[in-house]
Amino acid sequence: MRYKYGMLFDAPRPIVARVCIDSPLPHLDRLFDYRIPAELTPAPVPGCRVRVPFSGRRMSGFVVEIGPASDEYAGPLRSLAAVVSAEPVLSENVARLARAVADRYAGNLSDVLRLAVPPRQARVEKDPPPEPAGPIVDPPPAEWRRYRHGESFLEALRDRRMPRVVWDSLPGEDWPTRLAEAAAATAASGKGALLIVPDQRDLDRLDAQLSYVLGPDRHVSLSAALGPAKRYRAFLRVRRGLVPVVAGTRAAMFAPVENLGLVGIWDDGDESHSDPHAPYPHAREVLLTRAELESTAVIVAGHSRTPQAQLLVESGWARPLTADRDVVRSWAPRVVPVGDDSDLAADPDSTTARLPSVAWRTARAALRADAPVLVQSPRRGYLPALSCQDCRRRAGCSRCGGPLARSSRSAAPVCQWCGQPEEDFRCPECGGRRLRAVVVGAARTAEELGRAFAPTVVRTSGGSEILDEIPAGPSIVVATPGAEPRVPGGYGAVLLLDAWALLSRADLRAEEETFRRWSAAVALARPARDGGTVVVVADGGLATVQALVRWDPAWFAARELDQRSQLRFPPAVRMAAVSGSPAAVAEFVDECALPSSVEPLGPVPIDEHSERLLLRVSRRDGAALSAGLHAAVSARAIRKDAAPVRVRVDPRELL
């Protein structure tokens, strides 16, 4: 308001740059107005990087918008200090998405923008831009006819509609090519596509198929493995609208694809999709939020189906994209469970044998047919856990008490905590000096199989040495989950060992994760009509095994979702974890303005100094829970005497 000639009138608000300051402090999680000096060169534009004066020092930030000053601050405005780069790296859609993601996870906008926009490489910005990719006029024919409504899904993408599907991939399916075909159909309509995969191995496969289906220079791959300069160069190609399709790991989930028409994620149950940096967003949730904000098509795909994806189907938000049962039977291998009472009666030694007789015969038959054999072993290493031979007490280090393990048959036991060898082990309980294996790792499994099936070639894949593909022919591959190499034509036999190591974990997701890992291995086997057989060393009555035998991920996901709904666990509800010292957690909860439906679970101790409290609310109150948590964190950040607490919405161990 201003006075002129004694009269009160509305003065026009000055045009300012509204800046998000790069600060982790939650009470600074808002936009600040800065005056734009007329002499500032280059001139700021929305999305560019700037330096601003704040609290006696210069800080970095992004110009989110340029417009009239807000009513939040009535004092004199300070001026922008410098425009770091006139390149508008932050698009309007990504800024809006980042704000929504920050609100959902009770985080700061600046933390999300740090994930969304890679660090600047000044030299790369000065490079002459390449020519834009040519249009995709006539994409190659796609092979989606094996799935009900598969061809209709592609047709909807070509017509610029918004189909939202949960795709259950068949065993042996060339899923990178199918996703590339969906991206091609989207790009042919003049829209962009964004596809996210768990790791670099999957990205390499998808990248190769996108190049084949789309043609050269019509897509880019974004991942942290590219290195700073290459990643920033690829990012700028996307931001400048030079390519219509982006593939990447979770680092690409905020890629500024122009005129986005399709978002897709492969294997959304993989823990790699959960970002380890604050505010810990999950790629699936980011893409679903993006689909709502930008009105895009969605494909959530995998060999297995998560309860979160099942919730999308049951709520009507997405439709299932599956194959008929006769098609499933023609593509799936034969699955043989070994572990129920009848199996034990027929083969009493199978309870102690590393390889039951059925698995032995199956592997032998595959090798005789010149087909490779895949053995999935859940644990890495040689003997990752040891105990006293006499009293069965866990073998611990005499220095720090850490667990002992062996890296080979002749190696001395080594502590897994301090790394010191235990040359002269003596059990503190009984005085025994002999050690026995509690858990057998992949390396020991490979050694035993090499002796049993000599002279067959035995390969290992896992840890830092992961095989991507092996040649066809008789061989044995021992791999940890997620490290199974592909083979032309598929494996003749797949052996799933040590089911107890996966199913007995103290984890809400133990059965879901077991099925996900098993189905990924089973998908590499040949169809039953070509002799493909899978032996799973587990009781055939288990729901996980039954879903594998029938290859029915939808049934298993519906069962998991129903159980969690009854127990009121995610995704049926929303949850947040608050951890810190007991006094800090109690004080924090008292200060929070939480929804009336909130239900505390715990607290439970984490260690001798800290504890964790879970807060559970209905899904409709999820936004209110996040807002209350963020407000309380912001209020505590201003107080110097407040003990620290850590807040995480949708903690990974409960997803």
State residue 5's pLDDT score: 44
State which fold the 573-654 domain adopts: Alpha-Beta Plaits (3.30.70)
pLDDT-derived band at 138 (thresholds 50, 70, 90) equals low
Is it true that 333-381+441-550 and 573-654 share their CATH fold?
A: no
pLDDT of 370 > 90? The answer is yes
For domain 150-327, give the fold. Rossmann fold (3.40.50)
DSSP bridge partners of 535: 336, 495
H or E element: which one contains 652?
Answer: none
Give the C-alpha separation, 554 to 548, whole Å: 11
Contact yes or no for 146/170 (Cβ under 8 A): yes
Residue 10 has pLDDT above 70, yes or no: no
Give tens-digit pLDDT for 518-533: 999 999 999 999 999 9
CATH says 333-381+441-550 is which class? alpha beta
Q: What is the pLDDT of residues 438-497, one digit of tens each?
A: 666 667 777 788 888 888 999 999 887 899 999 999 999 999 999 999 999 999 999 998
Residue 11 to residues 105, 170, 247, 464, 479: CA-CA distances in angstroms?
39, 65, 49, 65, 71
The string of pLDDT tens digits covering residues 70-107 is 877 667 889 999 999 999 999 999 999 999 999 999 99
Residues shown for the chain: 655
Asked if the model's pLDDT at residue 292 lies above 60, the reply is yes
pLDDT for position 441? 65
Closest Cα partner for 450 from 476, 471, 487, 469?
A: 476
pLDDT category of residue 15 using cuts at 50, 70 and 90: confident
**């880019």: which residue's tokens?**
220
| Ramachandran area for residue 280 (φ above 0: left; ψ -120 to 50: alpha; else beta) | left
Average pLDDT in the 207-228 region? 92
Which amino acid makes up residue 622?
G
Least confident among 25-34, 198-207, 430-439, 558-567: 430-439
pLDDT in the model for residue 362: 94
Q: What are residue 514's phi and psi, to 5 degrees?
A: -65, -45
Q: Which helix (H) or strand (E) holds 470?
A: none
Q: Which of 544, 549, 511 is nearest to 528 (CA)?
A: 549
Q: For the segment 503-519, what is each residue's pLDDT rounded down to a tens digit? A: 877 678 889 999 999 99
Q: Residue 360 carries which side chain, given as an amino acid letter? A: W
Token pair for residue 355?
């390889």
In this predicted structure, the answer to whether residue 333 has a pLDDT above a threshold of 70 is yes
Q: Domain coordinates of the chain in residue numbers?
A: 2-88, 150-327, 333-381+441-550, 573-654
Q: How far apart are CA 345 and CA 268, in angstroms?
A: 40
Give the pLDDT confidence of 44-68 residue by residue, as tens digits.
999 999 999 998 899 999 999 998 8
The answer, yes or no, to whether residue 593 has pLDDT greater than 50, is yes
CATH architecture of structural domain 2-88: 3-Layer(aba) Sandwich (3.40)
Query: Could you read off the pLDDT of 544-590 as tens digits, one per residue?
Result: 999 999 999 999 999 999 999 999 999 999 999 999 999 999 999 99
Average pLDDT, the chain: 89
Residue 142 pLDDT class (50, 70, 90 cuts): confident
pLDDT tens digit sequence for 272-284: 999 999 999 999 9
pLDDT range class, residue 3, cuts 50, 70, 90? very low
Smallest CA-to-CA distance from 369 within 519, 486, 526 is with 526
Check pLDDT > 60 for residue 655.
no
Whole-number pLDDT of residue 219: 94
Mean of pLDDT values over 286-305: 97
pLDDT bin (cut points 50, 70, 90) of residue 382 is low
HEC string of 567-624 equals HCCCCCEEEEEEEECHHHHHHHHHHCCCCCCCEEEEEEECCCCCEEEEEEEEHHHHHH
Confidence class for position 313, pLDDT limits 50, 70, 90 = very high
Judge whether residue 126 has pLDDT over 60.
yes
Q: What tens digit of pLDDT does each residue of 594-633 get?
A: 998 899 998 999 888 899 999 999 999 999 999 999 999 9
Taking the C-alpha atoms of residue 413 and residue 427, their distance in angstroms, rounded to an integer, is 13
Q: Give pLDDT, residue 654.
A: 64
